[in-house]
Amino acid sequence: MVEKLEPRVADVDVDAMFLDRWSPRSFDPPPVTEEQIATLFEAARWSPSCYNDQPWLFCYAVDSSERQRFLSALVEKNRLWAKRAPLLMFLLARKRFKRSGKPNRHAPFDAGSAWMALALQARSLGLFAHAMAGFNVERAAKILEVDRDEFEIMAAIAVGRIGDPDLLPDDLKRIEAPNQRKPANEVSRRYPITG
């Protein structure tokens, strides 16, 4: 299925792993193995972080009953497709440094770094990871039994092999393809600014 999709093309030469990573909604339900799950989290743990605090926490579910609980925190539109993903997780960022207890304003940035490592590792295993902002934070916190004063719930994530896009609702089927990106000159700025 993914082979039929139009490949992304970079403006300059970059490693193919960056072009190959995208966020499908069509998943195939066969399970992600325990070894693959361990590999995903091993990749994430090597991510850089401020003062090496590693403030991220991945809470995950593979069992059907736990996956149903995780799904119940997602908005309806995300539940429609994420229900076929065999691995669901939430990414949390601890709000304070572990050692000092001081606020860590870099925690979301560091958690994002861990997410990207996990997403790229997923692709090297033949899997896809799709992060979602569409979820009920209060419900997720209750399901995960986490203190919102201690953790910020950053994202929900679905992981699995790519599935048949024809199983998606029509509106999602139409957009099931790797999307493009803004040109690099729109997301970078050289200094000093001239003209």
Percentages helix, strand, coil for the chain (3-state, rounded to 5) are: 40, 20, 45
Say yes or no to pLDDT of 195 above 70: no
- What pLDDT shows up at residue 12? 86
Most confident listed range (21-25, 124-128, 186-190): 124-128
Model pLDDT, residue 19 = 86
Mean confidence (pLDDT) of the chain: 94
Residue with tokens 């490949």: 7
More confident residue, 113 or 177: 113
Instruction: Indicate the residue type of 148.
Output: R
pLDDT tens string 112-155: 999 999 999 999 999 999 999 999 999 999 999 999 999 999 99
Query: Is 32-162 a domain of CATH 3.40.109.10?
Result: yes
Q: Which two tokens stand for residue 150?
A: 């201690």
3-class SS of residue 63: coil
**DSSP code at position 172:** H
Residue 193 has what pLDDT? Answer: 83
Q: Is the pLDDT at 7 greater than 90, yes or no?
A: no
Q: Is the pLDDT of residue 1 over 50?
A: no
Please give the model's pTM, rounded to 2 decimal places: 0.93
pLDDT given at position 4? 61
Amino acid at 82: A
Q: 68 is written with which tokens?
A: 């149903």
Q: For residues 105 and 133, give the distance between their C-alpha atoms in angstroms, rounded to a whole number.
A: 19
**So what's the pLDDT on residue 11?**
85
Measured in Å, how far apart are the chain's first and last C-alpha atoms? 47
- pLDDT tens by residue, 34-71: 999 999 999 999 999 999 999 999 999 999 999 999 99
What is d(CA 166, CA 28) in angstroms, rounded to the nearest whole number? 12
Collapsing DSSP to helix, strand or coil, 146 comes out as coil
Q: Take residue 2 and report the two structure tokens written for it.
A: 């993914």
* Residue among 92, 67, 66 at smallest CA distance from 158: 67
Ranges of each domain in the chain: 32-162
pLDDT at 174 over 80: yes
CA separation (Å) from 67 to 51, 87, 89? 34, 8, 9
Would you state the pLDDT for residue 194? 78
Query: How many Cβ atoms from other residues are within 10 Å of residue 155's Cβ?
Result: 20
